[in-house]
C-alpha cells in the first residue's frame, strides 16, 4: 500500500492555543487547527501570532502540521 500524498500549503498564525496548537488562516481563506512538528519542538523554534508558516495538511481531513516558519 502506498502512503497518501501530503499537501503543503502556506498561511499565517491568527491564534496561539495551549499545547503548541495554532489556528492558521490558509492561502485559500480557510482556517485550520494545526500542531507544531517534532523537529521544530526539538530545535525550540518559536512560532508567534502573525508569523507566516508552511503547513503539511493531513490527507484524511484532520489537523495539519507546521513544518517551517517563513
Looking up residue 38, the CATH number of its domain turns out to be: 2.40.50.140
Looking up cell 507546521, which residue turns up?
66
Cell output for 68: 517551517
Contact 15, 23 (CB under 8 A): yes
Residue 1 within a domain:
no
Structural domain tally of the chain? 1
Residue 2 within a domain:
no
Residue 42 within a domain:
yes
pLDDT computed for residue 50 by the predictor: 95
pLDDT computed for residue 6 by the predictor: 82
pLDDT by position in tens, the chain (length 70): 677 778 899 999 999 999 999 999 999 899 999 999 999 999 999 999 999 999 999 888 778 999 999 9
Looking up cell 512560532, which residue turns up?
47
pLDDT computed for residue 1 by the predictor: 66
pTM: 0.85
pLDDT computed for residue 62 by the predictor: 77
Amino acid at each position: 500500500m502506498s502512503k497518501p500524498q501530503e499537501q503543503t500549503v502556506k498561511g499565517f498564525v491568527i491564534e496561539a492555543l495551549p499545547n503548541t496548537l495554532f489556528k492558521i488562516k490558509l492561502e485559500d481563506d480557510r482556517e485550520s487547527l494545526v500542531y507544531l512538528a517534532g523537529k521544530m519542538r526539538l530545535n525550540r523554534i518559536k512560532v508567534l501570532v502573525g508569523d507566516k508558516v508552511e503547513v503539511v495538511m493531513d490527507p484524511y481531513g484532520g489537523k495539519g502540521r507546521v513544518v517551517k516558519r517563513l
